[in-house]
Copies of this chain bind each other. A is one copy, B any other.
Amino acid sequence: MKRAIKTEEAAEMIPDGAVLLIGGFMGVGSPHRMIDAIVARGTKELTIVANDTALPGHGIGKLISCGAVSRVIASHIGLNPETQDKMMSAEIEVELVPQGTLVERIRAGGMGLGGVLTATGLGTPVEEGKQIVETGGKRYLLETPIRGDFALVAAQRADYVGNLEYSLTAHNFNPIMALAADTVIAEPQSVVPIGVIAPDAVKTPGVLVDHLLERAA
């Protein structure tokens, strides 16, 4: 059984320079309370692995705006001109990864696989510097696994085991990121007693979750 902790308590666990996997797609399904707490604390030199950096002043965009981030691995930054500006001025190093490759690289990191063999990116700038593997008469890029020091995942509902449920398009990267970090911090909208979430409704088993935030205010 887990104690639900305060957001500030969780944010204090994250040191400067940490690699964070952060769920969400343009802010939908992002752990907004954790992001606010990291901004408030002033953590620096973070590496953010996420689908995107949302918009300026929204979701992950807040971490970009406040200068907490030195490196981004994402599939899309086009809707956040601040990320693009900081990339151009070399304040933030950006690695752009095709979205499907990004999620599989994180899954590989979480599931103990050596990498991902995909045709996505062949013949494009994504191919540069990467190992090519031939199998079954076809060529594939070998994309390497990604893991985080922390995964910050947003969930609709949790129980005190840490079992998580997600809602609609707020699933996105969260269930996969919960597999792939040394420490997984879950930010649920609500927390219910053990037994309330039926086994078949669980999308992330509680054994993957290290820390559970209190329910949303």
Residues of A within 8 A of B (CB): 104, 108, 112-119, 131, 133, 135-136, 138, 140, 142, 144-145, 165-168, 199-201
Complex-state Cα separation, A71 to B21, whole angstroms: 43
- The interface residues of chain B lying within 8 Å CB-to-CB of A142 are 117, 133, 135
Q: List 15 A-B contacts (CB under 8 A).
A: A104-B113, A108-B117, A112-B118, A113-B116, A113-B118, A113-B140, A114-B136, A114-B138, A115-B117, A117-B117, A117-B142, A133-B142, A135-B144, A168-B199, A201-B201
The 3 A-B residue pairs whose C-beta atoms are closest, nearest first, are: A114-B117, A114-B140, A115-B117
With A and B bound together, what is the CA distance between A131 and B131 in angstroms? 15
Extra 12 A-B pairs, beta carbons < 8 Å, given A115-B133, A133-B133: A104-B113, A108-B117, A113-B117, A113-B118, A114-B119, A114-B136, A114-B140, A115-B136, A116-B117, A135-B142, A167-B200, A200-B201
Kindly list chain B residues whose C-beta atoms are within 8 Å of the C-beta of A104. 113
Question: Residues of B contacting A131 with CB < 8 Å?
Answer: 135
Q: What CA separation (Å) do A166 and B200 show in the bound complex?
A: 7
User: Could you tell me the distance in whole angstroms from the C-beta of A10 to the nearest C-beta in chain B?
Assistant: 25
Tell me, in angstroms, the Cα distance from A136 to B116 when the chains sit together.
13
In the complex, which residues of chain B have a beta carbon less than 8 angstroms from the beta carbon of A140?
Answer: 113-115
Contacts of A135 in B (CB 8 A): 114-115, 131, 142, 144
- Which B residues are in CB contact (< 8 Å) with A112? 118-119
